[in-house]
Amino acid sequence: MSEFRFGYIPYPLWRRRWPIPGLQPLVRQACRLFYPVRADTNPPATPRQMARYLARWHLLVEMDEREARRCLMENPAAVELSRADREPAAAPPGPVRLPAQWEPVETVLLSWPVLYPPLWALHAQLTEAITPVATVTICVPRPTWASGIRLYLAQRGLADLNRVRFVYLPTNDIWIRDYGPMTGLNDAGKPVVVHAPYDALPAYPQSLDDAMPVRWAAHQQIPARALSLHIEGGNLWSDGAGTLIMSSAFQRHDRSLTVDAVTEQLRAMFKFEKLIVTPHLDEEETGHVDLLVKLADAQTVLVTAPGESINAGNLARAADVFRTETNAQGQPYRVLELPTLPPYYNWGVYPVWRSYANALTVNRRVLVPVYGHRMDDEALAIYGAVLPDHDLIPIDCGVVINGGGAVHCLTREIPACS
């Protein structure tokens, strides 16, 4: 891996605990050049302040600050207020079925990147791609952000704002796939939220992310159950018909964990017959399976091709797992390879793995990450051949991938229930 880049880093570096004494204030000062650090603790509280924020960070489209202020005053966004002091009802005993992503979806959750202005366009693309087929629920850390986001979306004019919902539900960061609510359906077809401990980024504050699924369940009046296993949502695929898929990254929290032990813990929460475990990527912080594998349907798996990187062996072994395995119904898999882009080091430190597998399926649409590379067209053609009855929506993830994730990592679907 020889290529070095100096791209935007979508992490709150000013919050990070640095091992070198005295480094944090220096980092915080440097971050002020590229991030709205002050807005982290002092967010825009009035239409005037929000208009100034949008203008300062180049988030106004063919509109000046004065016009933005007027629009914000005349058209404030409606915001639902979740409360930290509410607890969800306890779910009745018994495992729940975790629906497949290609089953009907009611809404998709996003945690808006209020402190990452270069990512507003990406999240707008996600919203615009989803609202024709499902509602989008945008979590905001303070209610005042909702009006600024709504104005930004309205300027672009592509999202169905009648299908955008704002909820005051604070989070620490944008990677809602990993900490968001895993929503299963009980025997009556009613939702149950399953939540696991979230501590994937120990150098950063994570308490709000960890609490998010419980707070969501309470706000939605959905019963919830706690899973003690350390597992992020990006490391769990379900086909809705008895098969779960993970990578071996679950052992990063506890190297003594065996597949049998993990299977036993998962069976206490989810209905399934078979757990398939793949290798995980080396020199990649999350180890999540959604960077290697995309389930197109219960018998079709899109895997990242081996390429020529240090992970060629891991990727080849992941593909071989599905070539030799069957799903829980005993059906063999059809395995197709997605192109592999060469990895690079961002700022000479962070290895970046651009994955076409990190896509989202929602109500017969597939949001596919693209990176401004010639292989984008090849990846889209493969998706089109595999899912000819789906709409394909390319989503520009060239900036956010520097944080280690793309479309799937930024979204959390909530299945429709009976």
Q: What is the pLDDT of residue 252?
A: 80
Give 92-101 pLDDT, tens digit per residue. Answer: 889 999 999 9
Q: What is the pLDDT of residue 256?
A: 86
Cβ 237 vs Cβ 303: under 8 Å = no
Cα distance between residue 261 and residue 290, in whole Å: 22
Q: How far apart are the first and last CA of the chain?
A: 49
Task: State which residues of the chain have pLDDT below 50.
Answer: 1
Query: Residue ranges of the alpha helices (H) in 75-206?
Result: 120-130, 145-156, 176-179
> In terms of pTM, does the model score above 0.95?
yes
Which domains, from first to last, does the chain contain? 105-415 (3.75.10.10)
Residue 80, H or E segment? strand 79-81
Cα distance between residue 333 and residue 409, in whole Å: 24
Cβ 365 vs Cβ 129: under 8 Å = yes
Q: What is the pLDDT of residue 1?
A: 44
Cβ 351 vs Cβ 403: under 8 Å = no
Residue 366, H or E segment? strand 365-370
Cα distance between residue 370 and residue 234, in whole Å: 19
DSSP state of 117: G
Cα distance between residue 183 and residue 194, in whole Å: 6
Q: What is the pLDDT of residue 2?
A: 63
Give 180-204 pLDDT, tens digit per residue. Answer: 999 999 999 999 999 999 999 999 9
DSSP state of 402: G
